Structure 1
Amino acid sequence: MPETDRHIRPLLSTGAVLGDGPDAAVPAHYGAPLREQRRLLDGRAVVDLGHFEVLEVTGPDARSWMTTVTTQVLEGIPVGSSASLAVLSPQGRVEHLASAVVTAEETLLLVLDAGARAGLRRYLEMMRFAARVELTDRDDLRVLGGTAPAADVLPELDLPAPVAVWSEPWPQVAPGGVAYGPDPDDPVGAVLTVADADALAQVPWRSDHLAGMSSWEALRIADHRARAAREVDERSIPHELDLLRTTVHTTKGCYRGQETVAKVLNLGQPPRRLVMLHLDGSQDVPAAPGGEVRLGGSDGKVIGAVTSAALHADLGPIALAVVRRAVPLDAALAVEVPVSAADGETSSVWIDASQEPVVVPRDHGDRPATAKL
């Protein structure tokens, strides 16, 4: 199905309030976002990720070829294994991110963010050459998110058997990985269940079975997980977003962008760093992606921008932002929040923010393990 024709119908539309930006096709919530988030945290609800896209890679060379053209090792791992992977530019910039599941000896399923599949497929088609692989858009499949496989979360629904289940022991460092900062507090992780879309549409869903995308984003932000559609821009290198923790295998051998990964890891520091912000909620105005982050206050120097924001059931208003590396870890920050007036005019208010480091600057005496050039 052409990307422009891909239509997504929410699994449950009763009470649904659709999201915006990359999440405009699925519900942000069903009328009670914090209660939904609590159910998601407690393992009693799943999230409709119907806008996420699935690409299948099959063939005798599927795993060895994908190991060559991405940052991850997929060859030799057991069927059923999950991994995160990236495709980098020759300069080491992040171009694509995907969650991969080995579903058979010669088959991989890649789960991608909304709108990301077409670009990755174009790159893979260019790199296929003589490799014995086939690429197939799987619009017959749909993705559910949760803190456990969907069938374990909702056993009463008799859900269709999954085609794949992706998970990883976040924030544990994957083989070949390197952590660029501390582990998040009380991480809950993420599990993606991929199943037949038509069968899922026939399930008798109720609002208490589902949590909206705002709940999924709140848990992701609290877990310090970067997302392709939010945190990645044209300048991003993996070190800035702590992607070396699970997504980049630093010792596997050649891949595009490896030289930049190794040089920054062994000899330098990333120019920017991901940070989680705890926002002052007293003004009752929600932060949003794109808001400026300034040092000290509204009159301070612009040092970055908000990439994701949410209201967390336990932590209150939180956000992820990408800021300059040199910003002190204990510096007070201010975040810009656009506010629309009744006459249509837009102004900005500034809310105070404190940092929870995700990526920590390192001096020459405190470096992660080295990577091979």
Structure 2
Amino acid sequence: MPGPGDLQSADTAWHYGDPLGEQRAAYGGGEQRAAYGGGEERAGRSGVIIVDRSDRAVIEIAGAERLTWLHTITSQHIAALPDRSSAENLSLDANGRVEEHFVLTDIDGVTWIDTEGSRGDPLLGFLTKMVFWAKAEPAARPDMKVVTLIGPGALDGPVADLLEIGADTDVYQAGGLPETHHEDEPLGFWRRMPSFGEDRDLPVVDLIVPEYLLTRWWDALTEAGARMAGSWAYEALRVAARRPRLGADTDERTIPHEVDWIGGPDELGAVHLDKGCYRGQETVARVHNLGKSPRRLVLLHLDGSSDERPVPGDPVTAGGRTVGRLGTIVDHHEWGPIALALVKRNVGTDVELTVGAETAVSARIDPDSILEDDRIQAGRAAVERLRGGSAVPGHQS
């Protein structure tokens, strides 16, 4: 099986000896079933894996104006984000291209941000530069680490009971870890994230904990029934759900519409369309109201007959012509090698594709990964009315 390539940090495990079994354990398969000893029904409800993601960069923002200030310089609507809530957010360049993607959680008067490890310093530099006179104090927190739970057992069962997480917990809801509260800030918290898996039915819960408590929580959660899994399992379940990752599934030309990052927290997006005054807003509004993004994110199924694999950034070609860019590629426990890719919008699901530069592999687009947008765009409809035409098919003015 292929190695992790650029997907894997040297500080975290790619797998613990059974990478495909680790993925199945999130559904309650393999050793997970035996651990509970309660048959298929019990295991299916309580499967959960734990993944070390301590290579994520964590930033703390204190100050009374932290949310209103962050609201003005980023793409998400967070000025009135409730306490113990989370959101995904972007920083765009002047042309609306994605520079940073991060998750933020506001809890007990502090906003916590985490992002790709390689983007921590650039993001902190941008935030620090933009403070001016605002009452906001961004600071690096390398002592805070991220751990992720995946599977139904993250919301129901011994692991959820240990964390005091209810089965009805909403996506982006957050809470302090039990018995770790401090008078100034929580010494760790959990938050629910959008679900993973091919049917997007596997709950995902992140834990952000101080490094000195990491081993304690890891041991407690595995003793409660969570199975250790490497980043391979995390990436496979993420890719199956078509959840993009900054840097792996984006490039320097990516705009939010291409990777389905449009929408507020209630839409699981990172760009709210009912706010303005942030860098790159003009491109977002123009694409939303007048056009379509030039590329779109798709799930690819790859020929698995070769042990060699392409790598993120390799070209996607059709008939010898480059039509896209390969993103994350990983072996899935049921589907074999799968990948995310940004391809030109006019490439259909019936087109025969080849991916890879040095290693050429045939691929096909999963038709279920295509999200068609057939709405009549407000700006386009207005243009058609001014021209004396109609934006509604079959209607004559």
* Secondary structure in 2 matching 1:281: coil
Q: How does 1:196-207 map to 2 (within 5 A)?
A: 196-202=210-216, 203-204=218-219
Q: CA deviation at 1:168?
A: 3.8
The equivalent residue for 2:145 is 142
Letter in 1 for 2:296: R
* Secondary structure in 1 matching 2:81: coil
Are 1:331 and 2:351 counterparts? yes
Letter in 2 for 1:355: D
* Secondary structure in 2 matching 1:115: helix
Choose the corresponding residue for 2:254, options 231, 236, 246: 236
Are 1:353 and 2:364 counterparts? yes
Choose the corresponding residue for 2:323, options 280, 303, 306: 303
Are 1:128 and 2:153 counterparts? no
Letter in 1 for 2:105: V
- Segments of 5+ residues of structure 2 without an aligned counterpart are 29-46, 164-176, 179-186, 264-268, 381-397
The equivalent residue for 1:177 is none
Q: How does 1:1-373 map to 2 (within 5 A)?
A: 19-25=4-10, 26-42=12-28, 43-104=47-108, 106-147=109-150, 155=159, 161=178, 163-169=188-194, 185-188=199-202, 190-202=204-216, 203-204=218-219, 209-245=227-263, 246-296=269-319, 300-336=320-356, 338=358, 348-356=359-367, 358=369, 360=371, 362=373, 366-367=375-376
C-alpha contact (below 8 Å) 2:323/2:344 kept by paired residues = yes
Identify which range, 278-287 or 248-257, moves more after superposition.
278-287
Letter in 2 for 1:21: D
C-alpha contact (below 8 Å) 2:154/2:203 kept by paired residues = no
Q: CA deviation at 1:20?
A: 3.5
Distance 1:72 1:370 in 2: 22
**Structure with greater proportional helix content:** 2
Q: CA deviation at 1:21?
A: 1.8
- For each residue in 1:229-273, what CA deviation from the matched residue of structure 2 results, as whole angstroms up to 9, or x when unmatched? 311211110001111041100112321111110001100111111
* Secondary structure in 2 matching 1:142: strand
Equivalenced residue count is: 329
Distance 1:247 1:257 in 2: 13
Q: CA deviation at 1:198?
A: 1.2
C-alpha contact (below 8 Å) 2:290/2:378 kept by paired residues = no
After TM superposition, the score normalised by the length of structure 2 is 0.74
Distance 2:26 2:314 in 1: 28
Letter in 2 for 1:27: A
Letter in 1 for 2:261: L
C-alpha contact (below 8 Å) 1:19/1:27 kept by paired residues = no
C-alpha contact (below 8 Å) 2:189/2:207 kept by paired residues = yes
* Secondary structure in 2 matching 1:29: coil
The equivalent residue for 2:44 is none
Distance 1:119 1:110 in 2: 13
The equivalent residue for 1:6 is none
User: Cα RMSD over matched residues?
Assistant: 3.0
Q: CA deviation at 1:351?
A: 2.5
Distance 1:124 1:290 in 2: 28
C-alpha contact (below 8 Å) 1:337/1:350 kept by paired residues = no
> Which has the larger Rg?
2
After TM superposition, the score normalised by the length of structure 1 is 0.79
C-alpha contact (below 8 Å) 1:40/1:211 kept by paired residues = no
C-alpha contact (below 8 Å) 1:226/1:241 kept by paired residues = yes
Distance 1:259 1:244 in 2: 14
Q: CA deviation at 1:44?
A: 2.4
C-alpha contact (below 8 Å) 1:274/1:357 kept by paired residues = no
Q: CA deviation at 1:170?
A: 5.2
Distance 1:155 1:187 in 2: 18
Distance 1:370 1:227, change over 3 A: farther
C-alpha contact (below 8 Å) 1:50/1:144 kept by paired residues = yes
Q: CA deviation at 1:370?
A: 7.5
Q: CA deviation at 1:360?
A: 4.5
Q: CA deviation at 1:337?
A: 6.5
Distance 1:143 1:322 in 2: 28
Q: CA deviation at 1:167?
A: 2.4
Distance 2:50 2:377 in 1: 36
* Secondary structure in 1 matching 2:117: coil
C-alpha contact (below 8 Å) 2:48/2:154 kept by paired residues = no
Distance 1:318 1:137 in 2: 35
Distance 1:216 1:95, change over 3 A: same
- Segments of 5+ residues of structure 1 without an aligned counterpart are 1-16, 172-182, 339-347
